[in-house]
Structure 1
């Protein structure tokens, strides 16, 4: 049995899947299997994946397109390892990624989640660090308060996360009803119960310019996390309440940019009016009230600067 199962959902990533797979096969730590879940791509993704010859690779073909969450669940169900590392089919691992995750597993045996830092890649020459709320975290350690640490951007991306398999047996798999921001729902369930061992070392390249990027497709006809469902849990967890409200804010802003004022208003109502409880700063509360065309303009300007390697954030 391999130490790691590397799970790669694949849907219309023909321009990236080969490089992604090569980054896995070139790992320093070689005790792993690779499970590609091909979700009925309409391009040449499957052919590109099959062109990479390795006895480590298995390709599982969905009969119908089921989406990202279902593809991850298929990978989980077909894995043969105790530790499952997830990798999107357009992202890249540094050769030391699995080696570092293995080190975290050995050093922090009580943890069930293991992750490293990452950078967002906007072109072949431009990579930008996420806006982090991890103050003074300079070594490998247990994250004491996951939700407080993730009030800015997430400290890990889906491709920099490894999960002990038994976690899924206790909290269930990814929610297949959610097809936008499904990782938020998983993060709440997983990090409310289990410990996260984390390394601030950047070992994953999150490719932002890839085709068919879900987060670039808009919210129309999408299902997001039901934040109200987790509200009772936040009564005794102030950090979770802030995490719920900051994600409500981000989703509400996206709805407003798309002129969906019904869903904007619905999410806005769930944000606590007291900024000490919601965690929203003055800048964010102002942005939430701006008209759609202004938010659209701000988004375009932010993206233009990101492509030049400069980040402007409402978090600070």
Structure 2
């Protein structure tokens, strides 16, 4: 049995899938199986993936498109390892990602979630995310409180985290009824019940603004997480309540930008002192302001400046 099960959910990524597979096969830690789950791609993604003949690779094909959550769940059910990790078909691991995760597993035995920092890839440019990893120091390695350190961009992304199978046995799999932010929903459940061991090293590259990314399309009328399910958890933890209000802000802003009126219901659940003044201002701003802000952010990116409300 391999030490890691690595899962690639694949859907229409013919321009990127080979780089993604190469980054996995070129890992310095080599004890893994690679499970590629094709979600009924309509381009040559699967054809290109099947050019690889490594014995490490297992292919699974959905007869019809089921969505990202279901595709990840298919991979989890197939996985033979106790340690399960993911890489989307347009992202990239640096050569020591699995080695770093393995060091966290052996060094921090109380944890069941293991993650590293990451960097963003904007076409030819690379940027550092606006998350709280900088507070830890670039060489940090240890246990962290996910909810207190996740009030900005994610402290990890879903291509830089590994879950022990005990996590899924306790909290269940991805909610297949959620079409947007299903990873946030799982992160909430997982980190509430299990410890997280973290490395501040940026061992993964997260592709930004790529076409056909399920997670970056408009969320108009898509099913979204119901954060009210965690109301009892909020009552007993100020830190958890603040984190959940931040996620509500992020979700409400995206809904408003898509002209989806559900943003009003989400916004009413936010304790405003739990978000900063910039976030409060944006939450109340008209939609045209969002367009102006986004245009300004992309312009600044061209000059190497990454602006954020976090």
Structure-2-length-normalised TM-score: 0.96
Aligned length: 308
Query: Is contact 1:179–1:224 with CA below 8 Å preserved after alignment?
Result: yes
RMSD of aligned residue pairs (Cα, Å): 1.2
2:143 equivalent to 1:142: yes
For 1:133, the equivalent position in structure 2 comes to 132
* Cα distance in 1 between the residues matched to 2:201 and 2:34: 23
2:278 equivalent to 1:283: yes
Once the two structures are overlaid, the 10-residue window that deviates more, 134-143 or 92-101, is 134-143
In the TM superposition, what is the alpha-carbon distance from 1:96 to its structure 2 partner? 0.4
Query: Is contact 1:133–1:148 with CA below 8 Å preserved after alignment?
Result: no
* Cα distance in 1 between the residues matched to 2:244 and 2:128: 23
In the TM superposition, what is the alpha-carbon distance from 1:136 to its structure 2 partner? 3.3
In the TM superposition, what is the alpha-carbon distance from 1:135 to its structure 2 partner? 5.5
Deviations 1:155-203 (A, max 9, x none): 1010001111121011100111111111110011000010000000001
Query: Is contact 1:127–1:309 with CA below 8 Å preserved after alignment?
Result: no
For 1:294, the equivalent position in structure 2 comes to 289
Where 2:120 maps in the other structure, the secondary structure is: strand
For structure 2, the residue ranges without an aligned partner over 5 or more in a row are: none
How does 1:205-220 map onto structure 2 within 5 Å?
A: 205-220=205-220
Query: Is contact 1:175–1:182 with CA below 8 Å preserved after alignment?
Result: yes
In the TM superposition, what is the alpha-carbon distance from 1:300 to its structure 2 partner? 2.1
How does 1:1-316 map onto structure 2 within 5 Å?
A: 1-124=1-124, 126-134=125-133, 136-138=135-137, 139-143=140-144, 145-260=145-260, 262-273=261-272, 275=273, 279-315=274-310
Where 1:5 maps in the other structure, the secondary structure is: strand
Once the two structures are overlaid, the 10-residue window that deviates more, 215-224 or 129-138, is 129-138
For structure 1, the residue ranges without an aligned partner over 5 or more in a row are: none
* Cα distance in 2 between the residues matched to 1:110 and 1:84: 17
Deviations 1:88-118 (A, max 9, x none): 1110000000011001000011110001000
Query: Is contact 1:132–1:150 with CA below 8 Å preserved after alignment?
Result: yes
In the TM superposition, what is the alpha-carbon distance from 1:214 to its structure 2 partner? 2.3
* Cα distance in 2 between the residues matched to 1:307 and 1:2: 43
In the TM superposition, what is the alpha-carbon distance from 1:243 to its structure 2 partner? 1.4
In the TM superposition, what is the alpha-carbon distance from 1:259 to its structure 2 partner? 2.2
Query: Is contact 2:115–2:199 with CA below 8 Å preserved after alignment?
Result: yes
In the TM superposition, what is the alpha-carbon distance from 1:307 to its structure 2 partner? 4.5
Query: Is contact 2:119–2:126 with CA below 8 Å preserved after alignment?
Result: yes
* Cα distance in 1 between the residues matched to 2:263 and 2:166: 37
